Chains A and B, each alone.
Chain A
Amino acid sequence: MSTAQGLNLTLKVWRQKNNKDKGQMETYQVTDISPDSSFLEMMDILNEQLVGEGKEPVAFDHDCREGICGTCSMFINGEAHGPGREITTCQLHMREFKNGETIYIEPWRAKAFPVVKDLVVDRGAFDRIMAAGGFISVNTSGNTQDANALPIPKYDADRAMDAATCIGCGACVASCKNSSAMLFVSAKVSQFALLPQGKVEAAERVQKMVKVMDEEGFGNCSNTGACEVECPKGISLENIARMNREFIKAGAASEHSS
């Protein structure tokens, strides 16, 4: 915890009143920002300043501020969640920036993620993909079989866990030059495809989820790998390959179509 000098920064922030408004970049100055502050604390200070001037503060999504809820969603200096790897915006700290620097702050850009206001976007498309098939069809009963009745190889369980750590923030879509949601969808498809419980309805699941993904207006994957690099949870491209496999298998081999 250093006691270094405060930072003075120029911020170029996207402002847009609502979904219908056209929106534009606005320039703000903030001064004496502690390098130990998080990026969102810097945004708080900007907002406090704007409220003080009687102006509307910048709307931005954030909640847990510890990198797990997936709410925060800023495109900072040309990268989803800003510079730094395997972090969310709320885990980005001001010590990553230099005094006098200009910082560009924009919302996620994708047709499937319309801007709600300023830096807030609507990621409802992800929820709709999940509702199409992102689950195992089991009711709550209290008498499913004992948890240890079904041993699962540690290696598979670990890989399922790796896929399951996706926080649904949408950085993959935001970073992808094609606004493709394949990393997100494949993470869920993979988690279940790797577990015996999930294999039962694997074919239908992947077909239904991909169908809704396409309908929502995401682009196609062209394997640039940007999503994997910018993903705050390090979700691997292996998952996309697995989803491709599952999908092709489901289309070619399953005897019924969904």
Chain B
Amino acid sequence: MSWFKQTWNSSIGRKFAMALSALFLIIFLLQHFLINFTSVISEKTFNEISHFMGKNVLVQFVMQPILIFGVIFHFVMGFILEVKNRNARQVKYAMNKGEANSSWVSRNMIYSGLVILFFLGLHFYDFWIPEIAHKYIEFKPENPNRYFGELVHKFADPVRVGIYALSFVFLALHLLHGFASAFQSSGINHRKYSPMIKKLGKLYAIAIPAGFIFIAVFHYLNQH
């Protein structure tokens, strides 16, 4: 077996890959949040950045595919591992007190992940597919000021805002375990720094989804 296969095909290799994709997505999410947040402050800035992101070749043809790969990888690997893990215990306990030794969020990453997956479907349907259709299928002329309007428009419907908010709650749950877990899986556990990473993880897991919810609610309220 080559070292490559031996390393990445192993249990540790897989979880390391999970962690790397997670860390990548965490960075992406931060970036996404920061851009979106500009919509609360300045319509102009938001449009400028969105236009840049939408037109820049590097972003569109290098970063975007990597991101898509990262998202798909994280989900597919998550499912593969879940199936393997379930398979590792064929007879279940008649009585199992998981809450005595671990957090609910850590035991239910697959469910919080699934909710996020459905959300991503919605999100793609809402933004990404129209965007791709706009640019690469219908070849509509570019209007550098269209982005803000499109964003705000999506948050007119209270049901949709509700679904978004709920999804972000699940994202928070996923991150509450996932952030620190990604560091642990990567072998980063240090008596001095790990408590800090854990705190940072909690802060991130709450602040970022809360921020996204805030943006959605903000635009909803501004229209009503």
Contacts and interface: CB of A to CB of B under 8 A. Distances in A.
Co-complex (A, B): yes
Interface of A: 12, 14, 23, 25, 75, 77-79, 83, 104, 106, 109-112, 115, 175, 177-180, 182, 207, 210-211, 213-214, 217-226, 229-230, 237-238, 240-248, 251-252, 254, 257
A83 B95 CA distance: 13
Contacts of B101: 79, 175, 224-226, 229-230
Interface of B: 1-4, 6-8, 10-16, 81, 84-85, 87-98, 100-103, 106-107, 109, 177, 180-181, 184-189, 191
B78 to A, nearest CB: 10
Nearest to B97: A78
Given A78-B95, A245-B187, A217 B107 contact: no
B93 A78 contact: yes
A178 B87 CA distance: 8
- B-side interface mostly: helix
Contact of A178 (B14, B85, B187, B191): B85
A77 B6 CA distance: 39
A223 B2 contact: no
A223 B3 contact: no
A115 B89 CA distance: 12
B88 A226 contact: no
Nearest to B13: A251
Contacts of A79: 97, 100-101
Which of the listed residues B1, B177, B189 has the most CB atoms from chain A within 10 Å of its own CB? B189
Given A78-B93, A238-B191, 12 more contacts: A110-B89, A179-B88, A210-B10, A211-B10, A218-B88, A219-B84, A220-B84, A237-B189, A243-B187, A244-B185, A247-B7, A251-B3
21 contacts: A78-B97, A110-B88, A175-B101, A179-B88, A179-B89, A210-B12, A211-B10, A214-B10, A217-B87, A219-B84, A220-B84, A222-B15, A224-B103, A226-B98, A238-B189, A243-B12, A243-B187, A244-B16, A245-B187, A248-B12, A248-B186
Contacts of A109: 89, 91-93
Nearest to B187: A245
Contact of B107 (A180, A224, A230, A240): A224
A115 B97 CA distance: 21
B32 to A, nearest CB: 25
A175 B186 CA distance: 23
Contact of B90 (A111, A224, A248): A111
B14 A220 contact: yes
B183 to A, nearest CB: 8
A179 B85 contact: yes
Contacts of B100: 78-79, 83, 229
A20 to B, nearest CB: 14
A75 B187 CA distance: 30
